Amino acid sequence: MSKIAIIQDAPRILDREATLDKATQLIAEAAAEGARLIVFPEAFVPGYPAWVWRLQPGGDWSLCEQIHQRLLENAVDLARDGLATVRNAAREANVTVVMGINERDGSVGRTTLYNSLVVIGHGGEMLNHHRKLMPTNPERMVWGFGDASGLQAIDTPVGRIGALLCWENYMPLARFALYAQGIDIHIAPTYDSGESWIGSLRHIAREGGCWVIGAGVALRNRDLPDDFPERDRLYPLEEEWINPGDSVVVAPGGELVAGPMHEEQGILYAEIDPARAAGARRTFDVAGHYARPDIFTLQVNRRKQSPIEFEPGNNGVAE
């Protein structure tokens, strides 16, 4: 058995360094309770851009630019080791950390943001880096499109894990790509919530014969900074909860074993047995004995995508 922890707490919205400080404290707290796998929500650093669902598409242009600039300035640049504090915290606590971030591309263009998910090993090493394949609806005004270079199953001390962000979990082929790698635990950080979303996670547990960890965003009005532009118009004071969270842990077969944690902030714990995943696939292994490769096959392009490739040269230095 392994103890896992879902961090259903609010970041310091639009403040990267304060959010990273809070994350390290939460990692230490969860580890002290015996958690070996610690999962943060979608876009935890420096917060999910919930405002995109309230701003008028094509309108509120100056307001969009104002907020986006702050998000850009507080996003994580992995090329500059922007998660060093989290990596150190994982190493000191001897835990595996899965964390959603707003990532600023530090190598191409330097101004595009991605909705990214990282897996940090118990030694502090970066095990995987995945960019959300398809931002959903107004999210496309915030994040660029990812690729499949991070569509990887990762071996950890608590089992073999795979992860998809939010509505990526509705993409059958993306799920199949992870099932085919034999995951024990499927991780789904998300901004979504409610009965229909939880129903989808329960379906994934049955379909994939795996544990499912749904890490939701629990955000209140008072979690927004006082200087958030037009805060009172976008989020009236009488509206306490902007998003309810609804984090869950689902066993192979679809049984809820923890959660939903609704309109509450804190840490959701659960004991899981990764070995149950193999037994759950005895009668239905969607990518194994239940597959029909003579009829259906899937090709996944794992090459990292880039709009430019530089040929070797002298970097502009005269010979």
Active site positions, annotated: 42, 132, 166
Q: What SS3 class is residue 167?
A: helix
- Alpha-carbon dihedral sign for residues 141, 145, 150, 152: positive
Q: Which residues contact 112 (CB under 8 A, 6 or more apart)?
A: 104, 105, 144
Alpha-carbon span 146 to 142, nearest angstrom: 13
Looking at residue 172, its amino acid is P
Alpha-carbon span 191 to 193, nearest angstrom: 7
Alpha-carbon span 211 to 259, nearest angstrom: 14
Beta bridge partners of 120: 97, 126
- Alpha-carbon dihedral sign for residues 39, 136, 61, 55: negative
Closest by CA position to 128, among listed 167, 100, 109, 168: 100
